[in-house]
Structure formats: structure tokens, C-alpha cells
Chains A and B, each alone.
Chain A
């Protein structure tokens, strides 16, 4: 068992999940304290000790299935060995013809009665008969899953299950909807069981390590922002909140004294109650430092996915910074701060940015030079030594002149100017990228292609103190 756990931890690490030495040892210790033949106990024990971030649970579940799928579930009769070969022989001539209707009836009954045992039995038969698994074939589990599901015809099963659960009652539209969702939840469970069963057999055939490798997906923090799917972006949204709060804390940070200064006047006033003895010294609260942040986001076509992400980021930032102003640009720039006010959900903000903001002046191809000059002319005078300007964009300027001098002026009026580029560093300055022209004017420039890099940027961020703070 220890060997398998070690392999499992290696797999987690290979998938990008940080498991420290201490945690690995904790995991092993904890396993000694539990019933080892109980898959649920084992799973939750390893999860609690090895995974410290909810974002990593999906990777954990996948790897766990692969490494421990043969550990029996609690209160289940063990799979009898040898009743059916795991992988049916190619001819299968000596068996009675398979009756799919009988299988569907069994599954239907199991699903209607929430009989997990019966469902698992049905799932084993389904995979035996319908997946068409062949030993040694280098196809992934999804292929077999697809084959099985197609033959089971889930849409039909759903309709029959709804009928079975309705029991001839007249249902209102509302109740039908609730019932449909219940049925979908049960069918989803069936789908997962089938997927697990297929994995189990793939593991038996090819070994854990090989299967784990084919199932490995990048963690949400490692997905390239330029190529993220909408679903990825939705998952990222949950992670952005805590990150922006961290950024807020970083930007607000200044050398703090432990408490505020003694408030002499209030101390003396208070002391009147105790006969002039200053029993309770009063302190001034250290005034929290309110950083000002301006975000300039390239939302051009070449940046489509990334700009959605930066706008999500903007949205999250708007909840942490009262003094956030945001601007969107393509070939010219417009302020979009008001679209992100308090209580606005991201969907409506996005809609307003794409329909109301005036970011196209000429042809809708990125023009950083014009955007920056327009920005400086319109808003530049409002920059203060307390403002941190963050530009997000790939600096791809469609071979137009960079006109980067104006960026120097912007930088000079602000506390700091930071540029986040979603392209790999190796691509900067290739083709129409004018990154190094702009970089010369920036306080710092960062490659931010993934959430992990965004987090890193936030971790390492050190900015010059605001001038107000330096004078204090």
C-alpha cells in the first residue's frame, strides 16, 4: 500500500499539485490510523492531508480513481472474481446473447429506487457488453465512455425515469423542472460510475502510471489564458477573488508600526474619569492606506480570451479597491469604471463594455500608440504619485509605430507602471509585438499567461512607496 501511495503522490506532483514533504508524511501517518480496506475513508484521509486548496480537488479525484480504484467501497459486496473476465474475449461465442433491454430495465429500477448496489452491477454489465474494450489498445477512456453511453441512450433513459418517478401524477411545469433536475443528477452519477468502471479496467490493462499520464489535465492555475475555454474561465473566476484581495493588501502595504501613535488629547480627556490618572492610554488608529489603481486593458480580438479574463480581474478588483478606475482600448481608449460599480454582476458589466465602450476609432485593429496618447490627453492630468497603472496586453500593434514616448510621460506622473503580457516571453518582439519599446518605460514587465503567474506576480510585487507615504 505504501508503494501505491508514493506513486499516487508522485502523480499529484506531476499534475502540478504542490504536496510538501511534511504533507506526504502526514498522509502516510494518517493512513495508518484508518481502515485500509475502505475506499471512502482512504480517499478522504488522503484528501485532507495532501490537498490544501479546493482548486486541486479535481486533479486529486482523477488520480485517486486511477491509483485506488480496486480498494473496495464500504458496505459493498466485493466484486466476485472470475464471474466475468474483465475484458471479454473477442469471440464471446459461448455466451448467451446479450439483452440490452433487460439491462436498461435493471438500470432504470436501480436509478428510480436509488439502489447503488444494483446500479454498480448494471454499470459493470454495461461496460462488459457495450464499451467494446480491447486489451492493449491505446485509446483513452473517453472513447469507451462515449461508446457505452451512446448504446445506453441516456436521453431515452431520462424520459423513462421521469415517467417512473411521476407515477401518473399531473405535474405543474415547475414541479416537472425540479423533477428533471433530480433525474439529471442521478444520471450524472450513473455517468460517473461508468467512467470509473472504465478507468478501473484500463488500469488493470495498462497499469496505473500509464493511465494517470493520459488523464492528466493542467490545473486551473496552469491553463494558458489565451486558450482557456469559457468553462475554464468560469472556474478561474472563483480563484480570482482571493488573489485580488491579496493584491489589494500588497499595494496597500507600507512599513507599519504595531499600533497607531499615542493620542495625547484623547488620553487626557479620558483620564478625567479616573481623577486625572491616565489609566487608559488612547491610540490613533493607523490610517489604512488606500491605494489607487488604474487598469488599462487591451480588449482587441487577438486578446479575446485574455481580455475576458482581465475584465474578470477588473471586476474582482473593483470590489476591493474603492479607488479603481478601469479603461478599455482597441485602437482608442474609453473609461469603463462605471460599468463595474458595486453590486453589478460580471455578465452585465461585460455586456456593457462590449456594447457601450467606445474603443474603436478607425478599423478595430489594435493601436497602442493612439490609445495611449488619447489616454494621456484625456486622463493623464488626473494621475497622481499615488496611482499605480497596470496595463494588460500583448503589445501587438499591427506594425504601426509604437509611439511609446507618451508611456514615459504616463509613468512619470504615476507611482508605478506595471505591464502584464499574456504571451510567452519568447514571442515578445516577434512579428508586430512592440513589447520592448513599451517595456523601457515600465517599472516592471511580467509574463502572465496563467493564474499561477498572476499569483506569482502578486507575491513578488514590490512597488516604490507612494510619495505621500515617504513624506510621512
Chain B
């Protein structure tokens, strides 16, 4: 699909049910034009991960995802030798010359490629999603950075593995930790916040089939209203979607304060938040 202008990007994303704003379309356009990674930051559930998935759908490229977590290391991100297979190979072949065996077991056949290596070794270009990068330690971040700048991996036993194709890279962060300046410098920075009511209504329309326009507008406005309160955790887009689905399942076509009070737990996760929102938005505070 054509990504030759921000408008074309917007249309393409819409066609796969991702509703971008001007900022998102512009940054995606630039990333594609300049071959730069995008670092998407923002609160949970505003469509960061989904953006990478939508890009994969739009471009028809495979999505390779590296989910980050505390303790993620090279062996899980990049590659690992398949010990088991190597040992079995050694055992099966005791008569052979050791040098020969050694050469054999340190060949690509015995390599377990992990997402990063897989992404650059792929025959066809892929979308590489490095999800929730703020969860890894700073040291691991440096590793990612190296790959993103060199597009090659050097494996001591095997030599340098060059990229066959260059992936389109999306990194996401929930900003629980400040990322290193070096990483940020490499990327186009895209902060996504909660959508305005207009766009949220469109997202609801795209993601919840059968939802009436009236209800979509109401849900979006209620979400905005609740987000303006001082809460521990504001409702995310995924939660407003869940809420809309709940309303639909209950055959509700107009929200009033009783219905809101009864279903607030779908939107909010903390009891203190539920109480606060009930107090603010409904005249009958309840648990």
C-alpha cells in the first residue's frame, strides 16, 4: 500500500481499522521515508502496540515481536546456541575429527535465532516490534541500540551476520523509566496520549461492530469525563472498547448514571477510582 504522503498513510491505517491522528500519520510517513525507527511512548492501552500491528497489516510485512521484560538478555533477544542439539551431534559422532565437529556445530544449523536476528535475517522485510522497551535494563538497551544502528550482528564463533533486509522498527515504552539519550536520538519520537472524544468515537465505531453512533459518542464523552478526574489509573482505549462491548451485550442503547454506576468496574480497575468516579458522575455513590 502507498505510504507516499501523510494523507496516504492515514488512509492506509484507517483501512485496517487503525485510527491515527495527524501526528501519528506524519511520524509513520517520515519513518518510512527516512528509514528510521519510531519510539512510541504513552500510557497503557492507547494503541502503541496496535500501531505496529496495523503497520504490518498495511504493508503486508510479517510482524516480528520482541516482548521486553526485566532480565531479557542476548540469548532471548538475539541468538543462542542450541546446546542440546550440539551435544547430541557430538555424542552421535564420536569417531570424527574434533575440528570438523567443532566447525559443524557452530554453523547456522545449530543457531537458535531470536527476534532481533530473525528480523534482520529475514528474506523479506518485516515489521520489528520491540515492545515495552522501558522494562529492560539499561545494559540490554545498549544491545538493542547496536543492532538498530549497525543492522548486523557479530557472533564470535561464526563471524558477522549482515542484515538481508532492513526492518521497519517500532519500539514502545510506557515510560516507567527514562530511556537512554542515545536510544532516543536514533529514533523518531511519538508520544501518543488518550485520543480526543472525536477520534475515540471513530475508534469505537471501527472496533465495536454494531455500536450505534449515539452510543459511541456517549461512551467517548464519558471516557473523557472520567479521565479528567484525578485517578490512580485512567481508563485506556482498550477499556472503553470493553465497556462499549459490555453495553452492547446488555442491549443498552443509552447510558444513564445508573448504568454507568453498575458497569464502572469495566472502565476502572481500582476500587478507590471506582468510588471517586461514582461520586463525581452519578448522584448515587456506590461501591
The reply to whether B184 and A245 contact each other, CB–CB distance below 8 Å, is no
Q: Which single member of B5, B87, B218, B230 contacts A277 (CB below 8 Å)?
A: B87
Within 8 A of B (CB), among A16-32: 20, 22-23, 29-30
- Provide the residues of chain A in CB contact with B185, threshold 8 Å: 20, 22-23, 52
Evaluate whether A33 and B33 lie within 8 angstroms (CB atoms) in the complex, with A181-B225, A245-B177 already known. Answer: yes
Contact pick for A48, options B83, B189, B231, B260, CB 8 Å: B189
Q: Mark A299-339, 1 if CB is under 8 A from B, else 0.
A: 00000000000000000000000000000000000000000
Main secondary structure of the interface of A (DSSP, over half): helix
Interface 9-mer from A39-47, A116-124, A398-406, A421-429: A39-47
- Chain B residues contacting A277 (CB-CB under 8 Å) are 87, 91
Are A345 and B176 also in contact (CB < 8 A) when A40-B26, A41-B26, A279-B83 are? no
Q: Is A409 an interface residue (CB 8 A)?
A: no
CB <8 Å contact, A47 and B30: no
User: A177 interface residue, CB < 8 Å from B?
Assistant: yes
For chain B, residues 207 to 232, give those with C-beta under 8 angstroms from any C-beta of chain A: 218, 221-222, 224-225, 228, 230-232
Q: Quick one: CB contact mask for A126-168 with B, threshold 8 Å, 1 for yes?
A: 0000000000000000000000000000000000000000000
Given contacts A48-B189, A279-B83, contact A178 B30 (CB under 8 A): no
Q: Which of B34, B41, B257 contacts A33 (CB 8 A)?
A: B34
List residues of chain B with CB within 8 A of the CB of A41: 6, 26
**CB nearest to A344 among chain B residues:** B272
Residues of A within 8 A of B221 (CB): 178, 181-182
Q: Is A246 an interface residue (CB 8 A)?
A: yes
A49 CA to B185 CA in the complex, in Å?
8
CB of A226 closer than 8 Å to a CB of B = no
B-contacting residues, A178-228, CB 8 Å: 178, 181-182, 185
| B76 smallest CB distance to A (angstroms) | 12
Residues on A with beta carbons closer than 8 Å to the beta carbon of B137: 249
Residue contact A243 to B84, C-beta cutoff 8 Å: no
Cross-chain contact B26 with A178 (CB below 8 angstroms):
no
Cβ–Cβ contact A242 & B34, under 8 A: no
Give the contacting residue for B189; candidates A51, A173, A243, A344; CB below 8 A.
Answer: A51
Partner of A45, one of B26, B181, B260: B26
Name the one of A181, A246, A281 contacting B228, with C-beta atoms under 8 angstroms: A181
B212 to chain A minimum Cβ distance, whole angstroms, is 15
Docked-complex contact A54 and B191, CB < 8 angstroms: yes
Report A-chain residues with C-beta under 8 Å of the C-beta of B153. Answer: none
Q: Is B286 part of the binding interface, using a Cβ–Cβ cutoff of 8 Å?
A: no
Per-residue 0/1 for B3-31: is the Cβ within 8 Å of any A Cβ (1 yes, 0 no)? 00110000000000000001100110010
Known contacts A174-B281, A178-B225; decide if A279 and B84 are in contact (CB<8 Å): yes
Say yes or no: B87 contacts A182, CB within 8 Å. no
B98 at the interface (CB under 8 A from A): no
- State whether the Cβ of B197 lies closer than 8 Å to any Cβ in chain A: yes
- Look across to chain B and name the residue whose beta carbon is closest to the beta carbon of A182: B221
How far apart sit A242 and B176, CA to CA, in the bound complex (Å)? 5
B188 on interface, CB distance cutoff 8 Å: yes
Contact check, A181 vs B224: say whether CB atoms are below 8 A apart.
Answer: yes
Name the A residues within 8 Å of B166 (CB-CB): none
Complex interface: chain B residues within 8 A of A258 (CB): 73
Tell me whether A345 and B228 are in contact in the complex, defined as CB-CB below 8 angstroms, given that A45-B30, A277-B91 are known contacts. Answer: no
Q: A182-B197, A345-B272 are in contact. Are A242 and B178 (CB under 8 A)?
A: yes
Q: Is B270 an interface residue, CB under 8 A from the partner?
A: yes
Cβ contacts under 8 Å, A245 to chain B: 176-177
The residues of B that contact A22 with a CB separation of less than 8 Å are: 185
CB nearest to A237 among chain B residues: B230
B103 near A: Cβ within 8 Å?
no
Determine the chain B residues whose CB is within 8 A of the CB of A45 once the complex forms.
26, 30
Point out which of A44, A57, A345 has the most chain B C-beta atoms below 10 A from its C-beta.
Answer: A44
- CB of A142 to closest CB in B, whole Å: 24
Q: How far is the CA of A259 from the CA of B74 in the complex (A)?
A: 11
Q: Which residue of A lies closest to B283 (CB)?
A: A173
Q: Does A280 sit at the interface, judged by CB under 8 A?
A: yes
CB-based contact A44/B33 at 8 Å? no
Instruction: Provide the bound-state CA to CA distance between A356 and B111, in Å.
Output: 62
CB distance B197 to A174 under 8 Å? no
Cα distance A236–B272 in the bound complex, in angstroms: 22
Which of B178, B188, B191 meets A49, CB within 8 Å? Answer: B188
User: Is A72 in contact with chain B by the CB < 8 A criterion?
Assistant: no
Q: Look across to chain B and name the residue whose beta carbon is closest to the beta carbon of A44.
A: B26
> In the bound complex, do residue A44 and residue B22 qualify as a contact, i.e. CB atoms below 8 Å apart?
yes
Q: Is B256 an interface residue (CB 8 A)?
A: yes
B190 at the interface (CB under 8 A from A): yes
- Residues in A whose Cβ lies below 8 Å from that of B246: none
**Residue from the list B23, B222, B225 in contact with A47, Cβ < 8 A:** B23
B197 and A185 contact, CB distance less than 8 A: yes
**Told that A48-B26, A48-B188, A242-B176 touch, could you supply 4 new A-B pairs with CB distance under 8 A?**
A181-B225, A241-B176, A246-B177, A249-B138
Pairs across A and B, CB under 8 Å, 30 listed: A20-B185, A33-B34, A35-B5, A44-B23, A45-B30, A48-B188, A52-B39, A172-B256, A172-B257, A173-B257, A173-B283, A174-B256, A174-B260, A177-B225, A178-B225, A181-B224, A181-B228, A182-B197, A241-B176, A242-B176, A242-B177, A242-B178, A245-B176, A249-B137, A277-B87, A279-B84, A343-B232, A343-B272, A345-B230, A345-B232
Q: Residues of A at under 8 Å CB distance from B? A: 20, 22-23, 29-30, 33-35, 40-41, 44-45, 47-49, 51-54, 57, 172-174, 177-178, 181-182, 185, 241-243, 245-246, 249, 258-259, 274, 277, 279-281, 343-345, 347-348
Which B residues lie at the A interface, using CB under 8 A? 5-6, 22-23, 26-27, 30, 33-34, 39, 41, 73, 83-84, 87-88, 91, 137-138, 175-178, 181, 184-185, 187-191, 196-197, 218, 221-222, 224-225, 228, 230-232, 255-257, 260, 270, 272, 281-283
